[in-house]
Structure 1
Amino acid sequence: MPVNVSPTASPSGNDLEAVARSGSRFRRMAVRIPTYLADVKENPAWLPMFMLARTMPGRRAHWAMSAKYKPTAASAPSIFGDLDAAKIAEDLRRDGIFANLQLPAEIHTEIRDFADATPCFGNFNRGLEFLAPQHDEAEATFGRSLLSGHFFERSLDSPGVLAVQKDPLLIDVARHYLGATAQLITTRIWWSFPTKASSEADRSLASLDKFHFDLDDWRMLKFFFNLVDVDEGTGPHVFVKGSHSRRKTKHQYTLLVGHPADEVLDYYGADKAVTLTGPAGSGFVEDPFGFHMGTVPTTRPRLMMEVGFGVSKPSRRRFHGEPVIRR
C-alpha cells in the first residue's frame, strides 16, 4: 500500500544538544559558525551555495546551468516494481513530492528487526546509547527525555538498508529530477519516540513540530520510508506542496530555515499541507527545499529511513550524523 496523503493543519552530539537547549535561534546559528568555517575551508564552493541557494533567483540560475540527464539504457529491475522514473520526476517538479512507493515486506521487516536489536544514540548524543525497545528504561537511567534515536554509521550494517540505498530506481529518479550530476550523499535510519518530558528545544533538535527547509546543497532529493505503521499518533511527516518552487521573499533573504507553522501556512496555503501516513514499508520522495516537518509521536515510536541525493561533492561532515557512503 502507498503512503496515505491527507491534508493537515558538525558539532558533536553534546554540542548539538547544548545549542538546541540554549533557547535562542540566533545563538544556535552563532555556535554553528565554526562548523560553517570548516565547510568553507574544505570546499570554498560551499559558501556561495549557502548564501544563494536559499533564493529563487540563485536556485533557478543553478538549475539552468545544470547538465541534463539523458538516459542511454533501460533501467535495471527495481525492488519497487515497474515505476516510471521520468513520471515521478514530473510529479516532483509540479508538487515537490511523490507518495506511491512501497518496500517489499522482507526489506522493511529486516530493517525493523535490525533497529530493534541494534543500540541507537539518543538526541544525537553518542553518550546516550540504548536499545529502542528499552526506551522508557533508558530515560529513567539517563534522567532525561529521549526524543530521537539515531544509528549513525551503524545504519549501513543492515542488509535491508543497503538494498534500498543501492536500488536503481532511486538514482534514476534523482537524475531525472536533479540532472546528470545527481549522486548519493546520505543514508540513515532513526527513531522518534513519544515522551511526555520533551521540550521545545528537544523538538527543535529533532526537527519536529516546526516547518523548515533543507539547505545542504544547491539541489537535493530525499526518499523517506516508514518502517513501522504510521498514523496520526506515530508522528507522521508533513509537507507543503508547491513550496519547493515558490518562496516568500522573507523566507529567501534570511539565514533562518525554520519558520512558524502559521506563517508558512498563511502564505503557501493550509490546503497545501499534507500529512503522510501509511503502513510499514510505505514511502515517498520529496524535494526538501519545500517546507516540511516531522511531528511528535504521541502513541507509538516512529522508525524512518532516508536516502538523500545531491549534486555537489559531499562534505566530510555528515548532516544529522549520517555515515560516509559505502559505494
Structure 2
Amino acid sequence: MRENPAWLPMFLLARLMPFRKAHWLTARRVVQDKIATPSIFGDLQAEAIAAELRRTGIFSGLTLPRPIQEEIARFGHETPCFGNFDRRLEFLAGDHAEAERRFGRTILSGHHYEQIMQCPAALAVQQDPLLLNVARHYLGGEARLITTRTWWSFPTRNASDADLSRASFKFHFDLDDWRMLKFFFYLSDVDATSGPHVFLRGSHNRRRLKHQLTLLVGHAAEEVLAFYGEENAITLTGQAGSGFVEDPFGFHMGTLAKEKPRLMMEVGFGVSKPSKRRYHGEPVVR
C-alpha cells in the first residue's frame, strides 16, 4: 500500500462485477502496427485469440518451438530453484528428494525468481510480439508486461493437510490488477499425474455474488462447480512446449503433482504500473 496506494481500491473493488466492467470501458483502443514482426508462434492471429478469450476466458492453441522449449527446460534443470518461496531452501530439481531430507520438510514447489532473466530462450518468449498483441487486443492499448517466471511443481509423499489446503490447490481467481492476462507454457510433459492446470470456461464473465463479497482466496471445488457448471471445467494436459493463455479472473486451480514433476513458465500482462513485488511469493525484488 505504501508503494502504490491505488492497490487497495483495486483489491477491494476489482472483485465486484459492476466496478470491473466499468474499468474495462476505460481500455484504450489498439493502434495496429503497420509492419508485422514475425512471431515464434507462426501465423496465429492476435485478434482471433482475443475474441476467444472474451468468449471463454481461455485459448489453448500455443506451441513453443522445440529448440526454445528445450533450452528453457535445460535451464530449469541446471539452475537451482528455491523451495516453497523460501530462498533458504535452494536446490536443483533433480535433487528434490534429497532436499526434502536435508531441509526436513515437504517441498511442493521450486521457483527460479529473477534467474530466469538469464535464459535467452525465456526472454525470446517474453518479448515475442504475438503475446503483446494478444494482450493489447484483449486488455486494451495500455497493456504491458508485468512478470515472467518459471517454477517446478514436485510430487511428494509427505504432503500434509495444511499443504494441500493452500489456495492454489482450490478454485480461485487472481486479483493482481484490474485487467490481466497470463500465458502459460508446459516445459515438461504434463498428464493427469503431473499436476495439470484446471480452468473454468466462462467464469471470467460471471461471478456469484457470494464470490464477489468474500475476501477468501480459495473455494471448494464442489461449491464452485455446482454454480459455474462441471461441464465448463477444462483440465489442460499436453506435451512439453504446449501452452495456453487465460484471463486469470476466471476460476482456476493447480492440481497436485502425484508421480512426475512439472516445469512451467508464465508470462503475465496487466494495465497498471508494475510493482516491485514482481516475483511470485516474494514481497520485494532483491
TM-score, normalised to structure 1, is 0.84
Distance 1:319 1:96 in 2: 24
Matched residue, 2:11: 50
SS of the residue aligned with 1:73? coil
Comparing 283-292 with 315-324, which one deviates more in the overlay?
315-324
Matched residue, 1:290: 250
Number of aligned positions between the proteins: 285
Matched residue, 2:271: 311
SS of the residue aligned with 1:146? coil
The one-letter code matched in structure 1 to 2:86 is: N
Tell me which of 96, 107, 116 is aligned to 2:68.
Answer: 107
Gaps of 5+ in 2: none
Q: Relative to structure 1, is the Cα distance of residues 148 and 316 closer, same or farther in structure 2, using a 3 angstrom cutoff?
A: same
1:274 aligns with 2:274: no
Match runs of 1:159-238 below 5 Å: 159-205=120-166, 207-238=167-198
Matched residue, 2:49: 88
Please report how far the alpha carbon of residue 203 of structure 1 lies from its aligned counterpart in structure 2 after TM superposition: 3.5
Matched residue, 1:35: none
- Is the CA contact 1:186–1:323 (under 8 Å) kept in the aligned structure 2? no
Match runs of 1:15-30 below 5 Å: none
Q: Relative to structure 1, is the Cα distance of residues 280 and 324 closer, same or farther in structure 2, using a 3 angstrom cutoff?
A: farther
Give the structure with the larger helix fraction. 1
Q: Relative to structure 1, is the Cα distance of residues 94 and 74 closer, same or farther in structure 2, using a 3 angstrom cutoff?
A: farther
Matched residue, 1:79: 40
Please report how far the alpha carbon of residue 201 of structure 1 lies from its aligned counterpart in structure 2 after TM superposition: 2.7
Aligned-residue Cα RMSD (Å) equals: 1.5
Gaps of 5+ in 1: 1-39
- Is the CA contact 2:114–2:279 (under 8 Å) kept in the aligned structure 1? no
SS of the residue aligned with 2:99? helix
Distance 2:228 2:39 in 1: 35
- Is the CA contact 2:149–2:279 (under 8 Å) kept in the aligned structure 1? no
- Is the CA contact 2:172–2:252 (under 8 Å) kept in the aligned structure 1? yes
Please report how far the alpha carbon of residue 174 of structure 1 lies from its aligned counterpart in structure 2 after TM superposition: 0.1
The one-letter code matched in structure 2 to 1:274 is: I
Comparing 154-163 with 212-221, which one deviates more in the overlay?
154-163
Taking only the aligned residue pairs, the percentage that are identical comes to 65
1:256 aligns with 2:205: no
TM-score, normalised to structure 2, is 0.96
1:239 aligns with 2:199: yes
Deviations 1:11-50 (A, max 9, x none): xxxxxxxxxxxxxxxxxxxxxxxxxxxxx22212111111
SS of the residue aligned with 2:44? coil
Matched residue, 2:101: 140
Please report how far the alpha carbon of residue 204 of structure 1 lies from its aligned counterpart in structure 2 after TM superposition: 4.5
- Is the CA contact 1:186–1:322 (under 8 Å) kept in the aligned structure 2? no
Please report how far the alpha carbon of residue 246 of structure 1 lies from its aligned counterpart in structure 2 after TM superposition: 0.3
Distance 2:161 2:250 in 1: 23
Please report how far the alpha carbon of residue 158 of structure 1 lies from its aligned counterpart in structure 2 after TM superposition: 1.1
